[in-house]
Amino acid sequence: MIDFIRFADNLSAWFGKAFAWLIVLMAVGTGYEVFVRYVMNDPTAWALDVSFIMYGTLFMMGGAYTLSRGGHVRGDFLFRLWQPRTQAKVDLVLYILFFFPGVSALIFAGWKYASRSWGFGEVSVNSPAGVPIYQFKTVIVAAGILLFIQGLAQVCRCILAIRTNEWLAADEDVFETEDLLIREAQKAERGNHP
């Protein structure tokens, strides 16, 4: 079980980090649009659609990574007070009742939308450029599959927590700037005091 959890976490992390580079492309594209619109007085017809597609892709493909790191919003005002075993039991029930049916619907509906979109070469109706969006519809299916795999890993985490009363933590690979600054200050303080 632990091997599958690590596999799913690593898979989700790889996709999440790979698609995070879309932020750079969006920034460059937006910068280019601002330049040509306000300096050259020659706006593009495609910039808005492309930024929507990139942002949507980033959002969708980062979902499994966010789930693997416990980053999704949850109302844990009671949840955090419970023992890990109780948390895991509640999470397990919620995954079975809500998560998997919802993600399965996302995959199957996304497949239907994507196949239709590819069939007639769908383009955006929001701009005169006619930016193709059929590939974006495929992202719905890919994101759903990644979420499903990560959901299975989360179920395995729940089972382990029910057995051991401890959560198997995901690898920490992203840190808040404030946390890093506090750690650096603590290291410097320890270095100054023997």
What is the phi/psi pair of residue 45, to 5°? Answer: -95, -10
The answer to whether the CB of 132 falls within 8 A of the CB of 121 is yes
Confidence of residue 50 (pLDDT cuts 50, 70, 90): confident
What is the pLDDT, as a whole number, of residue 193?
Answer: 64
Q: Which two tokens stand for residue 142?
A: 């890919």
Largest Cα separation within the chain, whole Å, is 71
Q: What is the pLDDT of residues 175-193, one digit of tens each?
A: 778 888 888 888 888 876 6
Give the CA angle between residues 65, 68, 69 to the nearest 5°. 90
Which pTM does this prediction carry?
Answer: 0.84
Q: Which two tokens stand for residue 166?
A: 């401890």
HSE of 53, CA atoms in CB hemisphere, 13 A: 21
Give the CA angle between residues 140, 10, 18 to the nearest 5°. 55
The answer to whether the CB of 20 falls within 8 A of the CB of 59 is no
